[in-house]
Amino acid sequence: MTLTAERTRTPPARRTPRTGRQGRETLILMLPALVPVLVFSVGPLLYGVFLAFTDARSGRNAETSFVGLANFGDLLTDGDFWASFRIGMIWAVSVTVLQFAASLGLALLLNENLRFRAFARVLVLVPWAMPPVVIGLMWRLVYHPNAGILNSVLTDLGLLSHDVDWLNDFSVALPAVIVVGVWTGMPQTTVVLLAGLQGVPKELYEAGHMDGASTWRRFWNITLPQLRPVIVTITSLDFVWNINQFGLVYVLTQGGPGGQTRLPMLFAYEEAFRYGFFGYAATLGVAIVIVVLAVLGVYLWRQMREVG
């Protein structure tokens, strides 16, 4: 607190000599915290980037050599990669959008003065309390062709004449997995949106009411614009989370049937640990980092512009 207050008072010209000494002290103080970051986070990242330019393969008698951009060239012409990238984009975009829509609805509902509101708010958090692997196992049981609750409910309602093998059918596997993705990611999105909703000044709604704006207009012209920074933040973060999703889909389908749910991360995992092409898998990782950075770039740029 005092530090910032002091700094705002100091004119920029006289700050330079101070920062020199202060900077060194800060550095020494930060060192214990920086070491783990460098060793466990930056180190592996740089190693991964380095691997992307080699032909590293698994095996004791494999020799690694530098291959320049060859892996990137292969990647651009690899039909399987593009198929997987397409699936990844369908997955990330649809999960993010559906998640947002469902969560906004839920947040609006929970923002109203309902009975058992506190209880409902706690219930909403339940999926968050489960690790992705447990969620995957649970939904595998839900989707089970013979013993799953989904098939039996739909059959009882007369909507299905024969059991559907949800996770093994070429056309429904991806949608089925997307539903689980939406369900899993809803708590954090809902909570963030709810927090945002509570920050919208009540006076604006009162004013809107006075002017005779309908519920829909109030939502469109007050709620949405007020929520915009929150929406941009949470959807960008959701997108990054979703495109990097691995555990959930790995447990649900392992990328099957026939690669219909092979997200980019699963593809990279298979390349590395199944087929042993470490270099190529690292290239895939780098490619995804670039995509994520692009999304984050847009997000940060907007944030900066708003602050500016």
Partner 1 sequence: MRTRTALAVAAAAVAVLTAGCSSGGATGGGTPAEPVTLKFLSLAWQKESIAANKEIVAEWNKANPRTQVEYVQGSWDNVNDQLVTSFEGGDPPDVIHDDSPALAGFASRGYLMDLTGKLPAELKSDIPQPAWDTVTFGDGKGGQGVYGVPFLQESQVIIGNKKLLDAAKVRIPTPETPWTWDEFAQISKKLTKGGAFGTAWPLKSPVNKVLNLGLNFGGTFFTVDGTKATVKVGPEEREVLQRIHDQLYKDKSADPSALGMGTADPLPGFYAGKYALLPAGVYLRQQVVEQAPPGFEWITIPPLKGTSSDQGATSQTLSVAADSKYPDQSAAFISYFLGSANQAKLARGDWLLPTSTKAASDPSMTTKENGWDVATASAKNLVVAPYLRVNGFDEWKTKVATPALQQYFANKITLDQVAATLVGEGDKVLERYSK
Which spans of this chain sit near partner 1 (rule: CB under 8 A)? 28, 31, 35, 57-62, 80, 145-146, 162, 165, 168-170, 257-259, 269-270, 273-277
The answer to whether 200 and 217 are in contact (CB under 8 A) is no
Please identify which residue in the block is written with the tokens 């039996």: 152
Nearer residue to partner 1 within complex by CB, 127 or 257 = 257
Burial grade of 245 (CB within 10 A; 0-12, 13-18, 19 or more): buried
What CA–CA distance (Å, rounded) separates 229 from 193? 10
Shortest distance (Å) from residue 28 CB to partner 1: 6
Nearer residue to partner 1 within complex by CB, 155 or 226 = 155
Contacts with 306 (C-beta within 8 Å, 6 or more apart), sequence order = 229
Shortest distance (Å) from residue 144 CB to partner 1: 11
Give 54's strand partners.
66
Shortest distance (Å) from residue 291 CB to partner 1: 23
Peptide bond into 44 cis (omega under 30): no
Give 66's strand partners.
54
Nearer residue to partner 1 within complex by CB, 134 or 294 = 134
Please identify which residue in the block is written with the tokens 């007020």: 226
Nearer residue to partner 1 within complex by CB, 1 or 28 = 28
* Token code pair at residue 133: 């692997």
What CA–CA distance (Å, rounded) separates 281 from 51? 9
Contacts with 168 (C-beta within 8 Å, 6 or more apart), sequence order = 145, 253, 256, 257
The alpha carbon of 219 is separated from its chain's Cα centroid by a whole number of angstroms, namely: 26
Shortest distance (Å) from residue 231 CB to partner 1: 39
What CA–CA distance (Å, rounded) separates 187 from 190? 5
Shortest distance (Å) from residue 259 CB to partner 1: 6
What CA–CA distance (Å, rounded) separates 235 from 237? 5
Nearer residue to partner 1 within complex by CB, 100 or 250 = 250
Nearer residue to partner 1 within complex by CB, 174 or 186 = 174
Shortest distance (Å) from residue 255 CB to partner 1: 9
Shortest distance (Å) from residue 264 CB to partner 1: 15
Nearer residue to partner 1 within complex by CB, 244 or 254 = 254
Nearer residue to partner 1 within complex by CB, 166 or 241 = 166
